[in-house]
Chain A
Amino acid sequence: MLPRPHGGRLVNRVMGEELKERTLEEARGIPRIEVSLDVAVDVENIAYGVFSPLEGFLSRNNYISVLESMRLENDTPWTIPIVLDVASRELRGKEVNEGDTVALTYKQRAFALLTIEEVYRYSKSEYMESVFKTLDKNHPGVRKIMEMKDRLVSGDIELINSVENPYTRYTLHPVETRVLFKELGWRTIVGFQTRNAPHMGHEYIQKTALTFVDGLFINPVIGKKKPGDFKDEVILKAYEELIKNYYLKGKAVLAILRTEMRYAGPREAIFHAIVRKNFGCTHFIIGRDHAGVGNYYKPYEAQEIFNEFPDLGIAPVFFKTFYYCKKCYGYVNEQVCPHRGEDVIPPSGTKIREMLMKRRLPPREMMRPEVAKIILSFEKPFVD
């Protein structure tokens, strides 16, 4: 049996077809708030239940509760604020008040409605310290918060139309993954979060997890990333190649999660687990430095935080990093292999990246040649 969605019910805030045309017509006469692609995509995530139980942007009390206790006001675990920032000047100019319905627009086209519940002030430093544990401007999450506007607007949303998506082929909503898992006969599913093209370490983590569950849900994050990260299309093509050549048929599903990386380490690990629970996963893999960046979080801090959430409703599966051991003649990790130092070849992401940047194939102990060749078939495989 698949887990119940987070909060008990899969949220659906997608407007019925019969209402869309009339609503878009009416939306011309109401105030509009232009949002970024990241926000627009999160509106979609709310609407399709990826962020269940959220039905809109966080109210002030929920926002404070998430910062302070990593839970919504009703005690449901929730670790990342999903908020809409708007400039107070813009709200005044448009005479927008609490209780009003506004059209959310992306590239000037209305795509959703927002019924404004509250407009509230917030402290950026409290947000950054609570979520990222740092105020360092070198942290990509901190930089993003510093650029946010001065007010947060809460309220329920209703999606009229989806925004542009170059990856519809790989986009599944939770209602669809839940049917898919059932049709595949999977009762236990392990979710795998990634923002990288797969190396051998990833593959062995996934396959080890696959030894005790029915199916693997590979769910790369597609959205804004930092320079040096693999481009989205590279990640998808690399995984397709890996699955085609090295996975049993009917044991792995590849579909994307459209949302930005927050680089919030442990808090984001919980958030990622909740999202995969909504997709129908029973288990979720947490490796070393999950959703981390630089040295802001301890290597296994994203695993330790799960102790605080016995009521999460999805089982975390913790792994140490896998590496190739010359003495064991295989892929192992420090929980099963006594060898260290010169005896082992760790599939270092940094080294692999350096080799690929020089258009060289990494050794096969680090990355499958088929996968490396696919990556090198792209002229520029990394984010500029």
Chain B
Amino acid sequence: MAGESEKERKHTTVSIPIQLYEKIKKRIKGTGFTSVSDYVTYVLREVIASLEEEEKEEVFSKEEEEKVKERLRALGYLD
């Protein structure tokens, strides 16, 4: 299993303004968040996930799609 050094490698430090830090500290009191870092990580994950959602791309070509539809019809999933 990982030693302490490997665990540490999974996180890095970023700087935020002290005023913002204090605001967040107040905000998370009495919530499930145990540290400012946890809260900031949560918010950033939300933001990144929603940005990635906006960048969606189609995953199949037209030919692939037609082939798939044929199988779906053969199995009775499509009329």
Contact = CB atoms under 8 A, between A and B. Distances in A.
Interface string B36-66: 0000001001101100110011011000110
B68 interface: yes
A123 B46 contact: no
Contact of B52 (A4, A10, A64, A123): A4
A8 B65 CA distance: 19
A34 interface: no
30 contacts: A1-B56, A3-B53, A4-B53, A4-B56, A4-B57, A9-B59, A10-B59, A64-B6, A67-B1, A68-B2, A68-B7, A126-B1, A169-B75, A172-B75, A172-B77, A176-B71, A176-B72, A178-B59, A178-B60, A179-B69, A179-B72, A180-B72, A180-B77, A180-B78, A183-B72, A307-B32, A310-B42, A310-B49, A311-B45, A313-B49
B10 interface: yes
B10 A65 contact: yes
Interface of B: 1-2, 6-7, 10, 32, 42, 45-46, 48-49, 52-53, 56-57, 59-60, 64-65, 68-69, 71-72, 75, 77-78
A5 interface: yes
B24 to A, nearest CB: 16
Given A65-B10, A169-B75, A311 B60 contact: no
Contact of A64 (B1, B46, B59): B1
A213 interface: no
A175 B10 contact: no
Nearest to A313: B49
B2 A183 contact: no
A14 interface: no
Interface residues of A, number: 30
B69 A183 contact: yes
Interface string A143-183: 00000000000000000000000000100100110111001
A245 interface: no
Given A65-B10, A179-B65, A179-B68, 9 more contacts: A4-B57, A9-B59, A169-B75, A176-B71, A178-B60, A180-B72, A180-B78, A183-B78, A255-B77
Contact of A8 (B52, B64, B71, B72): B52
A310 B33 CA distance: 13
Contacts of B10: 65, 69, 73
A253 interface: yes
A297 to B, nearest CB: 19
B42 A175 contact: no
Given A1-B56, A253-B77, A311 B72 contact: no
Contact of B60 (A3, A75, A175, A307): A175
B45 A123 contact: no
Nearest to A179: B68
Contacts of A5: 59
Nearest to B44: A311
Nearest to A69: B10
Nearest to B38: A308
A175 B45 contact: no
